[in-house]
Amino acid sequence: MIALKVLGLEFTNDDETIRKAYLKSLKKYPPEKFPDKYKTVRKAYELIETEQRRLEYYLFGHEDDITYDEYSSVCLNIDKTIPKEKWNKLCQLYQKTKSK
């Protein structure tokens, strides 16, 4: 997932960890000095800021939400595989939200 990689996170991170990573990225790429990188970081955060949004993005999001150029300006490489433990965690979260 590109949005998570932009912020250097995993799918299993909680909302507070994601917020801290976002604030750390803002310090690294302030909008005054890096407007394009700031926009990418902001867009990534908006896509995954809550557990529900992360789940929706993971299940239904499209990689074109953040373009490859935006991604590569902030990150070095891209990995499109889903490790088995992340898939299992995703299934657990999905079943938990379905039962609510």
Instruction: List pLDDT tens digits, range 28-86.
Output: 899 999 898 899 899 889 888 888 888 888 777 765 566 666 666 666 444 556 677 77
Q: How confident is the model at residue 89 (pLDDT cuts 50, 70, 90)?
A: confident
Q: What is the pLDDT of residue 57?
A: 80
Q: In the chain, what are the domains? A: 2-98 (1.10.287)
Q: Which residues contact 41 (CB under 8 A, 6 or more apart)?
A: 6, 7, 22, 25, 26, 29, 74
List, for residues 3-35, the tens digit of each pLDDT value: 888 888 877 788 899 999 999 999 989 999 989
Q: What is the pLDDT of residue 77?
A: 41
Whether this model's pTM surpasses 0.85: no
Residue 8: left if φ>0, alpha if ψ -120 to 50, beta else—which one?
Answer: left
Task: Assess contact for 51 and 15: CB atoms under 8 A.
Answer: yes
99 DSSP 8-state letter:
T
**Residue 1 confidence (pLDDT):** 58
Question: What does the pLDDT read at residue 15?
Answer: 87
